[in-house]
Amino acid sequence: MTKDIIITVIGLQFDIQEHSPLEVITPGRYYFKNNKHYIIYNELSMETGKEASNVVKIGNNRIDVIKKGDDSAHMVFEPGKKNISYYSTPYGDLLIGINTLDIQLKETDLNIDVNIEYALEINYSHVSDCTISLNIKSIDDKDFTLQRRNL
């Protein structure tokens, strides 16, 4: 994998009434250190237009997502475990629980695919079942194309 990458993040929440997909495609940087993959990228807030920095750390059966900006969080995904943390917003903090059901990881020299299934709680109440898909692609991949993936 090269330092320069394109990351695609697709998030899907299955609510009672409908599901709400969110997709981000952006350039980023990739590093491999201490047997962990580090993906660093920025994204713009749809609400404020301000930039947030994100770090995704992929380790042995654990994924950390660290977001810093108007909304800040450190979310930890570990299969079979429930992790609790705060999600900070300009309007106040939310206590969130992430109960990771499954993590699928597939990697090659030029591509990493991650799929995470989890249940989301806010203030100890189940809110929705969620899926996050990450595709980290080296810009040196000769087969590089942008394409929409469906969940």
The closest of 126, 115, 122 to 12, measured between CA atoms, is 115
pLDDT in tens, 63-72: 999 999 988 9
Q: Where are the domains of the chain?
A: 4-138
pLDDT in tens, 59-115: 989 999 999 998 899 999 999 999 999 999 888 999 999 999 999 999 998 999 999
Which CATH fold would you assign to the domain 4-138?
A: Lipocalin (2.40.128)
Other C-beta atoms lying within 10 Å of the C-beta of residue 72: 15
